[in-house]
Amino acid sequence: MALPACEFKPGLEGIPAAQSAISYVDGTKGLLEYRGIRIEELAHKGSFLETAYLLIWGKLPTQDQLEEFKTDILYHRRIKYHIRDMMKSFPETGHPMDALQTSAAALGLFYSRRALDDPAYIRKAVVRLLAKIPTMVAAFNQIRKGNDPVTPNDNLDYGANFLYMMTEREPDPIAARAFDVCLTLHAEHTMNASTFSAMVTASTLTDPYAVIASAVGTLAGPLHGGANEEVLAMLEEIGSVENVRPYVEKAVANKEKIMGFGHRVYKVKDPRATILQELAEQLFAKSGHDPYYDIALELEKVVEEYYGQKGIYPNVDFYSGLVYRKLGIPDDLFTPIFAIARVAGWLAHWKEQLGVNRIFRPTQVYTGLHEAPYIPLEER
Ligand code: CMC
């Protein structure tokens, strides 16, 4: 049967790829909801693990459900020595996102049973991935410095334990809370490149570790999760508040993108950027000002002057790097931290996809030749 002619949209802009009840964005109002609950509510009143549960199982957990979930995750935090040994053979100069993608895929070697119609299997996979991804990020960070990975600390909750595995010191409660809020803010964001990648992979009914590994690879690019790392490099390049305007003018003249600004959906300031900015200010009030924050504020002002009419405002990546840096996290771990959080959203979409699965098999608009001659090698 001939399909009706359809318009090709580069980047599939505006084309629904799924029906989903997980999250909602209104890009003109600057609204983001997870399962109907506004992101501000979850960031200010909830925790990351509660949010992950909400995203994946559709409802906020009861106290007992949350306790059980936390206990299961605590139990599965450690990674096998085979995976640690594998990481020791990675080049220490390799990007931590590549290390994470490889390690996430390697989990499939150890937990190869695939029972996608068994809720107990699904739950175990969710728990394992949420539990082990932070341990793998922190382990590679230690290994590349020549250290042994820090064993997870059973007395610390999810976010605090990650910061502990980075430094071997128990984090200050304000820092731990700020980090947990960052994870909540990054946990899910409707249909985006890495989520789509996860869903396409999921739709083949492969194992969940392959689903997460493919999403990690997609998140790594500078137009997606990789932008947060580039924002700080840009602020450093600008160097001073006085240099902001000439920098923007040059970018405008050369039609260069300014990292941390613009979004396919938001045409106003990303609500997550507003919360991250508040967090940055709280951290600066506690442990000292960051001169790059002044540059960031000026940049936001000048970019709005030039691009506000086009709907280009700070996105989630603009202030996150300043927060992470204040928490002592190296720049090239910013995107892996985005992945730690987004695993919750990817798993929610994986589970939703399995419930209604049909393999993704879009079409294309062919623009090549027909009936082309085969020219023998010696005549070319
Ligand atoms: N700086 C300057 N101009 C921009 C920017 C920017 N950051 N973003 C978009 N524009 C302009 C762009 O040049 C284009 O102008 P024109 O119509 O005159 O050619 C117009 O706005 C539309 O841009 P687009 O690239 O076609 O929009 P898109 O929806 O395909 O891209 C985006 C969205 C996020 C990839 C893009 O805004 C961008 O590259 N931003 C910088 C990288 C960044 O901060 N990425 C993080 C995204 S949020 C988190 C995540 O998804 O991981």
User: Are the beta carbons of 353 and 18 closer than 8 angstroms?
Assistant: yes
Specify the amino acid at residue 193. A
Q: Which helix (H) or strand (E) holds 214?
A: helix 208-219
Write the DSSP string, 85-101: HHHHTS-TTS-HHHHHH
Q: What's residue 224's pLDDT?
A: 85
pLDDT digits (tens, 9 = 90+) for 72-112: 999 999 999 999 999 999 999 999 999 999 999 999 999 97
Look at the block and give the residue holding tokens 């990675």.
Answer: 90
How many helices (H) and strands (E) in the chain? 16, 3
Q: How far is the CA of 269 from the centre of ligand 1 (A)?
A: 13
64 is catalytic: no
263 is catalytic: yes
pTM for this model (two decimals): 0.93
Q: Which of 1.10.580.10, 3.90.700.10, 3.40.50.80, 2.60.120.620 is the CATH number of 20-359?
A: 1.10.580.10
Tokens of 363: 């079409």
Q: How far is the CA of 262 from the centre of ligand 1 (A)?
A: 5
Q: How far is the CA of 123 from the centre of ligand 1 (A)?
A: 37
Q: How far is the CA of 107 from the centre of ligand 1 (A)?
A: 34
Q: How far is the CA of 264 from the centre of ligand 1 (A)?
A: 7
Tokens of 79: 């990674």
Q: Is the pLDDT of residue 71 over 80?
A: yes
Ligand 1 atom closest to the CA of 261, numbered from 1 = 7
Ligand 1 atom closest to the CA of 318, numbered from 1 = 44
Q: Tell me phi and psi for residue 172, to 5 degrees.
A: -60, 140
Which of these, 89, 207, 102, 204, lies nearest to 143 by C-alpha position? 89
Residue 268: Cβ within 10 Å count: 15
Residue 105: Cβ within 10 Å count: 17
Confidence of residue 2 (pLDDT cuts 50, 70, 90): low
Q: Is the pLDDT of residue 294 over 60?
A: yes
Ligand 1 is surrounded, with C-beta below 6 A, by 11, 192, 223-225, 227, 257-264, 307, 310, 312, 315-317
- Taking the domains of the chain in order of start, what are their residue ranges? 20-359
Say which residues have a Cβ less than 8 Å from residue 62's Cβ, sequence separation at least 6: none
Look at the block and give the residue holding tokens 């209104």.
Answer: 26
Q: How far is the CA of 313 from the centre of ligand 1 (A)?
A: 10
Ligand 1 atom closest to the CA of 256, numbered from 1 = 2
pLDDT digits (tens, 9 = 90+) for 228-278: 889 999 999 999 999 999 999 999 999 999 999 999 899 999 999 999 999
Query: Which residue, by CA, sits nearest to atom 4 of ligand 1?
Result: 257
CA distance 307 to 201: 36
Query: Which residue, by CA, sits nearest to atom 31 of ligand 1?
Result: 264
Say which residues have a Cβ less than 8 Å from residue 20's Cβ, sequence separation at least 6: 190, 191, 349, 352
Out of 315, 338, 346, give the residue to mutate to test ligand 1, the one with the largest number of ligand atoms within 8 Å of its CB: 315
Mean pLDDT of the chain: 95
Q: What's residue 68's pLDDT?
A: 98
Query: Which residue, by CA, sits nearest to atom 32 of ligand 1?
Result: 263
Q: Tell me phi and psi for residue 314, to 5 degrees.
A: -60, 140
Q: Is the pLDDT of residue 1 over 60?
A: no
Instruction: Label each residue of 38-71 as H, E or C.
Output: EHHHHHHHCCHHHHHHHHHHCCCCCHHHHHHHHH
Per annotation, catalytic residue among 186, 263, 270, 349 = 263
Query: Which residue, by CA, sits nearest to atom 45 of ligand 1?
Result: 223
Q: What's residue 51's pLDDT?
A: 98
Q: How far is the CA of 117 from the centre of ligand 1 (A)?
A: 40
Percentage of residues in the chain with pLDDT exceeding 70? 99
Q: Which helix (H) or strand (E) holds 33?
A: strand 31-34
Per annotation, catalytic residue among 189, 207, 317, 349 = 317
CA distance 52 to 58: 9
Which of these, 175, 172, 224, lies nearest to 197 by C-alpha position? 224
Q: 209-229: buried (b, 16+ CB within 10 Å) or exposed (e) per residue?
A: bbbbbbbbbbbbeeebbbbbb
Ligand 1 atom closest to the CA of 311, numbered from 1 = 21
User: Are the beta carbons of 139 and 86 closer than 8 angstroms?
Assistant: no
Say which residues have a Cβ less than 8 Å from residue 149's Cβ, sequence separation at least 6: 79, 84, 135, 138, 139, 142, 143, 165
Out of 9, 312, 342, give the residue to mutate to test ligand 1, the one with the largest number of ligand atoms within 8 Å of its CB: 312
User: 32 forms bridges with which residues in the sheet?
Assistant: 25
Query: Which residue, by CA, sits nearest to atom 17 of ligand 1?
Result: 310
Which of these, 348, 329, 378, 319, lies nearest to 35 by C-alpha position? 348
User: Are the beta carbons of 275 and 43 closer than 8 angstroms?
Assistant: yes
pLDDT digits (tens, 9 = 90+) for 168-220: 999 999 999 999 999 999 999 999 999 999 999 999 999 999 999 999 999 99
Specify the amino acid at residue 343. V
pLDDT digits (tens, 9 = 90+) for 300-326: 999 999 999 999 999 999 999 999 999
Query: Which residue, by CA, sits nearest to atom 19 of ligand 1?
Result: 255
Report CA Rg, the chain: 22
User: Are the beta carbons of 324 and 96 closer than 8 angstroms?
Assistant: no
